[in-house]
Amino acid sequence: MKKNGILNSEISKVLSDLGHTDMITISDCGLPIPDGVEKIDISLKFGVPSFIETLKEILKDMKVEKIILAKEIINDNEIILKEIKKLIDKNIEIEFIEHEKFKKVTNKSKAIIRTGENTPFANIILVSGCIF
C-alpha cells in the first residue's frame, strides 16, 4: 500500500505516464470536460478539495515547464492567481489566453482533474517538463 504522495490511483497513473510537453488540466467544478478526455473527478462538495490544495499536491510530483491560464483570472480571481504565482517556480512560463480558447486547449490534456473549487476561472493547464 502506498504511504506517501498522491494516493488517488488515477492521478498517480496519469502523472507516471506523462512525457515531455504532455498536458493535464486541474479545473474548478464548472469547467466542461471535452469528449474523449479522461475526467478524474475528485470533487466532494463545493470547495472540497480546493483548486490550490490540489495544485500543491500535483506540483510536488510533476515537473512543469509552462502553465496556461484563462486571462480572465487576472481580474475575476486575483486571489487564486496570486496563490498560483506563489506555488510555481519563477522559471515556469505563464501563458494567458481567452477562456473560450482555454476550453478548446483542454482537448489536448491527457486528463482533467475536477476539484470542488467554486470560484471563477480557477483552472490551469500544466505542461510537463523534462526531468533530465
Nearest to 64, CA basis, from 123, 114, 125: 125
Per the annotation, the verdict on 99 as an active-site residue is no
Phi and psi dihedrals of 118, rounded to 5? -130, 45
Query: Which candidate in 5, 7, 17, 20 is catalytic?
Result: 20
The sign one gets for the Cα dihedral 1, 23, 91, 30 is negative
Q: Name the residues annotated as catalytic.
A: 20
